Amino acid sequence: MDYFKLGLALGALGAAAKIAGSLAYGSKALLVDGATCVAGLIAGVVALYWLRASQAPPDVDHPYGHERLAFGGVPFMLAAYGAATGFGLAYLLDYREYRVEPGAGIMGLLGLALYTGAVAAFRRSPIIGAPMAAFTASEVLEGLVSTVSAIGGYTLGPMVDYVGAWIIEAYLAWELVSNSRGLVHQLSDMASREAIETVRKELESRGFQVVDVRLRQVVPGEYQGDAVVLPPRGLDPVAADMLADEAAYVLSEKGIDVTVHVDFSRGLAGKRGVR
């Protein structure tokens, strides 16, 4: 069974159930949630396209690999969620008296069940399903809010439903800000102190004196960079190069692609600062 296609189908049916429930039974929370679901599904499919593209092997134009293409889906995701947020804002600000019918809660429960099934299906799909499950998991929480709001809108009054719609809208706005900041942070060539310390320990365990380490994050969990080291005193240059290559190989297995430069002059230590 193709669980990825099943997840897409269940997600689309869940979004349709929420939108239909809103149009037929009056819940504003369901419509805002349904628009978010549509945006999330479209953005997720585009993100998966870029994730697949990022797995291509190195070529002439990308000698270090295509890993950063995985970020290609993030701007589209921000645009899709931004459009959904703008739609929801305009829709909620144009307030008119309305009533919520009991069918809204039923359609909300149906949409919630379908979306929960979509997440379960995505998680069973190899490789590309996991990121899509992450995209849609938050929609389950939003679906819970919209369903409770729709039920409350019928039993307690439409203002409960209206407040629930604003809660979803506020969450969308927070996600936009958070993901925008996260994208800038991820693309800023940062490197964790933990990754730098991993390089240091691996080199020092072989007797090298570490002069400089420079790393940048390619994608989360993968780094590229270089290190300058001084060899153990009296070690043959050929043996030192072999030790450096060995350390580089071990580090590459940990997701750190680092070029190790062995400086035999021993005058470098006083000229460069250790990072």
pLDDT for residue 169: 94
* Tens-digit pLDDT profile for residues 214-232: 998 888 788 999 999 999 8
User: Token pair for residue 69?
Assistant: 């293409």
> When comparing pLDDT for 184 and 266, which is higher?
184
* Tens-digit pLDDT profile for residues 163-205: 999 999 999 899 888 888 877 877 777 778 899 999 999 999 9
CA-CA-CA-CA dihedral for 55, 56, 62, 66, to nearest 10:
-20
The answer to whether 3-186 and 193-262 have equal CATH topology is no
* Tens-digit pLDDT profile for residues 32-44: 999 999 988 888 8
> When comparing pLDDT for 98 and 131, which is higher?
98
Nearest to 261 by CA among 247, 271, 270, 146: 247
* Tens-digit pLDDT profile for residues 49-83: 887 888 888 888 888 788 878 778 788 888 888 99
Question: What would the mean pLDDT of 244-257 be, rounded to a whole number?
Answer: 94
Locate the domains of the chain by residue range: 3-186, 193-262
Question: What would the mean pLDDT of 102-128 be, rounded to a whole number?
Answer: 87
User: Token pair for residue 73?
Assistant: 């889906």
Reported confidence tier of residue 268, pLDDT bands at 50, 70, 90: very low
Nearest to 35 by CA among 143, 192, 118: 143
Give dist(CA 17, CA 270) in Å, integer: 69
Nearest to 240 by CA among 226, 260, 213, 214: 260
DSSP state, residue 27: -
Q: Which CATH architecture has domain 3-186?
A: Up-down Bundle (1.20)
Q: Which CATH architecture has domain 193-262?
A: 2-Layer Sandwich (3.30)
Is the Cα torsion angle 82, 83, 87, 90 positive or negative in sign? positive
pLDDT for residue 31: 96
Global pTM exceeds 0.85: no
Question: What would the mean pLDDT of 253-263 be, rounded to a whole number?
Answer: 93
pLDDT for residue 272: 42
H or E stretch at 31: helix 28-54
Burial environment of residue 8 by CB neighbours within 10 A (0 to 12, 13 to 18, 19 or more) = buried
Question: What would the mean pLDDT of 143-148 be, rounded to a whole number?
Answer: 94
